[in-house]
Amino acid sequence: MRTACTAVVIALSLLAAGLAGQAGLGRISGVLTGSRGPIPNAEVRIKNTATDQVIVATTSATGEFSVSVPAGSYDVFSSTVGYAVLARRGVNVTAGATVRVDATLANNANAGTPGEIFFLYARADRKPPAGPAPRTRDGKPDLSGVWYPGPDLEPEAPPMLPWAEELFKKRSTRVGDDPRAQCLPSGIVRTHGLDLAKLVQTPTLLIMLVESSVPGVRQVFLDGRPHPPDVQPSWLGHSIGRWEGDTLVIDTIGLNDRVWQDLQGRPQTEKAHIIERYRRPDLGHMEVEITIDDPGAYLRPWKVRRLLDLAPDEEILEYICNENHKTEHFVN
């Protein structure tokens, strides 16, 4: 009898512990729709603002998602091919409650441009190859390959200086003024955002060949040289790299103030210092984290995070951008 009673007590104790654990949980649910109806198979990233822990959900055929989370504050993101980014910040969840995050996503500004975001759609339809990340003869991860672009996974809203905020608001209503729309370079931060890119890695040099981008070629020196003392500002600046374990850290200075950091027109000044971190965790994926430290325009450094997929069947093709000013009526 004592054994039976003991078992009952243990069972009740475990049940009480489980209920106590669940008592601190809430739920975030929602539906994503667009101009063509529900958005299925969209990745939704739910980030705890206190711990930075990210829970990833995927929308159903009807565009629905739902996750159980501890009580707290969350940012909810979705970067879906062909649509504007969802960034709902400061979603407060209390124990036992469900918070709705429903959203109708506008069409991506580039979605109506023939061929402009082909590789984003191609990436969505193809599964990257599996296997371990390749390594070079000296044991370093080999980043070489052709890579599909990827969206910003968790877009930040960095606080800007007043002049930069005013310029940003003005630019966001005139996307035709984007340097990219004028056949000018897109800059570093937007690399891997829209274009197919080929990386060629040697022991002393990493070369990036970017399709649909001007000038299309970027050099990262891996031979231990420092930045020159008199770097003249340019669209891509001067880049040097070093290895921190299996992560390639790229340090860039000497940037000009003509770049738009994104389609909405976040500014860049000549004080910008950009640090990129490239990590290839396996054969088919590349993790990219970009830190923008630009005290000329922003109150603090901010980051862009992307996940690239290998495109083993693709190759860089010739890309010519010329006389784009004659199509201003399409993009203004």
**Peptide bond between residue 215 and the one before it cis (omega within 30 degrees of 0):** yes
Q: Which residues pair with 278 in a beta bridge?
A: 248, 288
- Report the SS3 class of residue 237: coil
Which pTM was predicted? 0.84
In terms of residues, how long is the chain? 332
- Of the candidates 192, 168, 171, 167, the one whose C-alpha atom is nearest the C-alpha of residue 181 is 171
254-272 burial string, b = 16+ CB within 10 Å, else e?
bbbeebbbbbebbbbbeeb
Which of 73, 60, 104, 62 lies closest to 86, judged by CA? 104
Q: Tens of pLDDT along 81-117? A: 778 889 999 999 999 999 999 999 988 766 655 556 6
Output the pLDDT for position 180: 86
pLDDT tens per residue across span 45-90? 999 999 999 999 999 999 999 999 999 999 999 988 778 889 999 9
